[in-house]
Every structure is written in structure tokens, then in C-alpha cells.
Amino acid sequence: MTTQTLEKPASTSPAAPERTRCGRTYLPAVDIYETKDELVLLADLPGVKAESLEIQFEKSELKITGNVNECGCKGREPILGEYAKGDFVRSFQIGEAIDSNRISAELKDGVLTLHLPKVEAVKPRKIAVKSA
Amino acid sequence: MFNPNEGLFTLGRLRGEMDRLFSDLFNPVHRTHGGGLWETEYPALNVWEDEGSFYAEAELPGYKLSDLEITVVKNELTLKGERQLPEDENRTYHRRERPQGAFSRVLYLPAEVNADKVEATFSDGVLHLQLPKAEAAKPRKIPVSCR
């Protein structure tokens, strides 16, 4: 068995678009599960409000961006800093055919629930067999 | 040239490490690691202080205030909670990163706190705590009189 390694020439890989907002971004923890009708994505996005959340779905790439406001801690002396705040950004390649018109999202208590219904044709269908 | 400001452990950090060691021994934390994201204590806390109070924040998305148990004794803040994520046999999980299970964490604050006046609010999955310092712990101006 022969193995081939293909190398992508550097000049043809496109530059990834850069964000215009400053500051670090963090990857939110995500659960993804599949039922027979849809894909469901659950993301932990603490501190993100519904108006600061942006979800894009384009050509089977799903991108979630959640902006977080800086804390109002002026005049306070920090004594313990175990985590830093920053925007949440994460992208996924979705392999299934998704009906983008029926995607729904809900943000509650910092958790995003994203329903990605599968395209009707992709769902497993039982074919009724008629005996002649 | 020896620089006295460089040290492997500052005093504060050493105290923090010892606190973590003891709190893990006496309060075992049961949690399922999703993708190994939670290598440190859960939840991560940020704490600030001003003259009158301590302020603590923790990211606890998906919890409600009723899932949490917050107790304060003198300068000891204990945070406990549990989150169970629903299981369903119709689901096939492709990715499971969100932590679930019970957690318990003790934090030792630098000064005593007035336990009756502690306020806890929860917004968008972030817990905010305001812990007013006990009167005895607040800084007091000492008048100087000349004799």
C-alpha cells in the first residue's frame, strides 16, 4: 500500500478573514447531537446576550460569534483572576444537508440551543413494498 | 545579579496552591470532563475588592440560582451546584464538551465577610456575588494625636 502526502502550496490557501473587534476570542464548549430529524448544537456562552449573538450558516459552514461586554469593575482591586473575558467564536463544518430556512436558535441563561433541521430528502424513509 | 522580585512562587500564589490542595482533599469534586477543558477548579472565579466589599464572578451557563448552593462562614465562601444534561436514547452525540455533574468549591477570602448582607445575582449564565466585608475587617483611619 502506498501512501501519498499532498502538500498544499502556500500561495493558494486563502487568508482567513480577520476580526475587527480587538481582544482575545475563546472557543465555547459545545455539545452536538443528532436525531433523525435534526442536528442540535448546544453551546455554553456565559455573558452573551441575544442581541450580541451572531449565527451564520453559509455553504455548510456554521459560524457562531458571541460578543461579551467588559465587566463594570472600575475602582475595584483584582485579587483573583482565574478566567479572562472575551468574545466567543467557533465555526463548524456541517456534513449533513441542512434546511437553512428552518434553522432556529434560542439563548437562555448563557446556553445557546441551535436546531438545524435536516433536509427532507436526507431523512431515512421507509419504502413501502407492495406485493403484486 | 540576584533580583529579589523574581521568585518561583509569590506568597499569594503559594497560598492559592495550598488552598486548592486542601479544598480538593476535603471537597472532592465530581465532574465529567468533556474534552479535558476543565483541568483547573470548576467553576473558575474572578474576585475583586474595594474598601467595603468583595465581588466575585463565576461563569455557570445553564444553571439557575436554584441549582446552586452558596454558603458563607467568616471568610470562607463555599459554592456548590449540580448540572445534569438530559440523556435521550434517540440522540447520537457527535461532540460532548460541556461539563456536567456536581461541583463544590471553597474560596478563602482575605477578610471576614458579613454573611447576612451577601447578594447573589445571576444573569446570562454568569453568577455575580457581592460580599460586604465585616465591620471589623474594614480599614479604619486611626487619628493621630500629638502629646
Amino acid B8: pLDDT:
46
**Which comes out higher in pLDDT, residue A67 or B41?**
A67
* DSSP labels, B57-95: EEE-TT--GGGEEEEEETTEEEEEEEE-----TT-EEEE
Q: Look at the block and give the residue holding cell 456536567.
A: B100
pLDDT at residue B25 above 60?
Answer: no
Is A93 touching B (CB cutoff 8 A)?
no
The better pLDDT of the pair B92, B18 is held by: B92
B75, three cell numbers: 471568610
What total number of domains does chain B contain?
Answer: 1
Q: Minimum mean pLDDT among A79-83, B30-34, B64-68: which range? A: B30-34
Of A23, A98, A3, A89, residue with least CA distance to A57: A98
* A106 vs B4, more confident: A106
- CB atoms B90 and A82 under 8 Å: no
Tell me if chain B has a CB within 8 Å of the CB of A72.
no
Q: Do B126 and A49 touch (CB under 8 A)?
A: no
| B55 domain residue, yes or no | yes
Over 80: is that where the pLDDT of B6 sits? no
In a domain, B24, yes or no: no
Supply the pLDDT for residue B120: 92
Does B16 lie at the interface with A, CB-CB under 8 angstroms?
A: yes
**B75 with B111: CB under 8 angstroms?**
yes
- Residue A71 banded pLDDT, cuts 50, 70, 90: low
Q: Does A83 touch chain B (CB under 8 A)?
A: yes
Mean of pLDDT values over B24-40: 42
Q: Do A45 and B96 touch (CB under 8 A)?
A: no
DSSP reduced 3-state for B121: strand
Q: Which CATH number covers residue B119?
A: 2.60.40.790
Map grid coordinates 502538500 to a residue. Answer: A7
Of B45, B49, B93, the CB nearest to A77: B49
Cell (9 digits) for A49: 446576550
Alpha helix positions (H), chain A: none
Structural domain boundaries enclosing B52: 29-85+98-137
pLDDT band at A2 (very low <50, low <70, confident <90, very high): low
Element (H, E) at B11: helix B11-26
Residue A124 CA to residue A48 CA, distance in Å, equals 37
Q: Is residue B128 part of a domain?
A: yes
> Is B76 part of a structural domain of the chain?
yes
Using CA atoms, how far apart are residues B28 and B147, in angstroms rounded to an integer?
Answer: 58
Assigned domain for B121 exists: yes
A51 and B CB contact within 8 Å: no
Residue from B75, B131, B61, B137 nearest B106 by CA: B75
The confidence score (pLDDT) of residue A80 equals 87
ipTM at complex level: 0.73
CB contact under 8 A, A31 and B98: yes
Neighbouring residues of B105: CB distance < 8 A, sequence distance ≥ 6? B23, B27, B29, B41, B42, B43, B45, B78, B79, B80
Q: Which residue has the higher pLDDT, B46 or B87?
A: B46
Report the distance separating Cα B110 and Cα B108, nearest Å: 7
- Confidence check: pLDDT of B39 > 50: no
The full DSSP string for A5-42 is -----GGGSPPPPPPSS-S-EEPPPEEEEE-SSEEEEE
- Give the span between the Cα atoms of B95 and A31, in whole angstroms: 5
Residue B63 lies in a domain: yes
Confidence of residue A122 (pLDDT cuts 50, 70, 90): low
Pairing of strands A87-93, A25-26: parallel
Instruction: Look at residue B6 and tell me if it is in a domain.
Output: no
Closest CA to A85 of A132, A21, A8, A2: A21
Positive/negative CA dihedral, B58, B63, A70, B133: negative
Query: B4 in a domain, yes or no?
Result: no
